[in-house]
Structure 1
Amino acid sequence: MSMPTEINRRTMLTGLGFAAAFTAVGVSLPTAEAVALPPIRDTFQGLLAFLVPGGDRFSRHQGVTSETTGGVDALAAPALEYTYDQAIPYPLVGRPFDLNLPGAAAVAAILNITASAVNPGSNFGPFAAAFANLKYAEKAEVLRRLERPGLADGTPVRFLINTIPTLAAFAVYSEAPVFDRTTHQLTRRPVGWDLSGYAGVSDGWAEFQGYYRGVDRVTD
């Protein structure tokens, strides 16, 4: 079974890609100054519920749910946090958010700062993260603002912002949430397989056995 190797390879390439990009444009080194961390897990749960709604409490609060298993119940948040922390181990500092945070914390800060601007009331709610307290349309507005041309252009923050919806959706539909990095095995069937209708690993398909219309050789 080659899938565990592929997961490792994808994770490695993602990390190397981030690292190369940040090195090229400049990333600050860690400082001794203590920085308060934003509510990372609730922020990512709110993001996953937005991208792949389910029946979980984050999806219910945003006002958009689904009868299928969503990103929150797919357990994609830890995998997403791990990817960002591995890819961006050093704090990002710079406009327009004045960040001094690495990895997943930087992403959570960006989403929550923008969420507070979209709806100041989002700082109060059932969840620790302002972004998770937003309604569905307000979350869409957060991402729209982050995609504005000119926002943080030419900085590592711009590159990071561009990864947020794509990488989060990939985490849901990939095997990463149930991949054991110690044993290199899946702990259970990935939710993404069911959402996409993927039958799982196979050595071949019956439809491709034999020859097409009796043709068993090709001559020049």
Structure 2
Amino acid sequence: MPDPLPLNPPLPLNPPPPTEPPPPPDPPRRDRRALLGAAGLATAATVTAAGARPARAAPDPLTAWTLDTMTGLAVFVLPGPDAHSRAQGTPRPDPGGVEAGLPRFLVDALNRYLPVPVVTAYRRAALTALPAPPGAPASLAKDAVPLAPLVALLLNIQALRVDPRTVAGPLPTPFSRLSYAGKAAVFRLLEGPDPALVEALDAHLPEPLKRTASGLLRFLGGALLELAALGGLSEWGVFDPTTRRLTGRPVGWRLSGYVPAAEGRPEFRGYYQGRREVTG
């Protein structure tokens, strides 16, 4: 007779609790230095530079806004066939400041004008190896105070004083929406009552701050016009700094009819009629 089948063992009265999965590992600890640095960079993004401007990168909003204001200034000094010249009422068939690359020249020159080596040293020491926050302007000068956005802000504020209707229009900035006469009124304000009003505040400051802001305002208007004329009629727009050669005929040459020197010069072949010396 075969052996009976074994019976299943009885279940325990108090079964052990199910085994719980091990707790997940602690999340990786964020670098405190990077966290604080990102917060600091987010706060100081408008006054620090995040690196050199890419050659073909799309400009950030601040740079685009500044560039449009400088375009309005460029066509005020050197109008041409562009939309900004038509907006101010002075279009011309000849090439002007836009074709000469003058807006980029103004932004570049103003952003390089005021170096701050001490501030730069502290900034580099504090922000070395820290990533820039997303969307931070990348086109401001690294070792200088970026004056172009400040000048653009001043021009646009004065434009709204001259004509409040320029708060909206087809062009991006109020100064560019002004007529030619309106832009002249902006410079009249810069050189007239505004510096006198500011001088009432900074005339009593100790040296070297005494009359600094009022002096800057008083001479800013003339300096901007002179800088625009210099850049628009120079070779800056077609000069390649790598090869140190011109890539085209500058606008200033075309407007003035300037003929550059020839590439070659005739070599010296001796004196007339075979002479070797001159006496007397």
- Normalising by structure 2, we get a TM-score of 0.53
After the TM superposition, which residues 130-141 of structure 1 pair with which residues of structure 2 at under 5 Å, given as runs? 130-141=174-185
After the TM superposition, which residues 61-140 of structure 1 pair with which residues of structure 2 at under 5 Å, given as runs? 61-89=87-115, 102-140=146-184
Question: Aligned pairs, how many?
Answer: 168
Task: Indicate which of 158, 166, 169 corresponds to 2:226.
Answer: 166
Displacement, 1:149?
A: 6.2
Partner of 2:11: none
Partner of 1:48: 74
- Kept in 1, the 8 Å contact 2:162–2:186? The answer is yes
Structure number with greater CO (CA < 8 Å, separation at least 6) is 1
Structure 1's unaligned 5+ residue stretches are: 1-31, 91-100, 206-216
Partners in 1 of 2:163 and 2:233 — Cα distance? 30
Partners in 2 of 1:167 and 1:118 — Cα distance? 23
Deviations 1:95-120 (A, max 9, x none): xxxxxx73211221111111111111
Deviations 1:162-197 (A, max 9, x none): 311110111110011111222222121110111122
Partner of 1:60: 86
* 2:148 maps to 1:148: no
Structure with the higher fraction of residues in helix conformation: 1
Rg larger for: 2
Structure 2's unaligned 5+ residue stretches are: 1-42, 47-60, 117-144, 200-210, 266-277
- Kept in 2, the 8 Å contact 1:89–1:103? The answer is no
Partners in 1 of 2:110 and 2:263 — Cα distance? 33
- RMSD over aligned CA atoms reads 2.9
Deviations 1:72-109 (A, max 9, x none): 1222111221111111256xxxxxxxxxx732112211
Q: 1:197 to 1:124 in 2, by over 3 A?
A: same
Q: 1:45 to 1:183 in 2, by over 3 A?
A: same
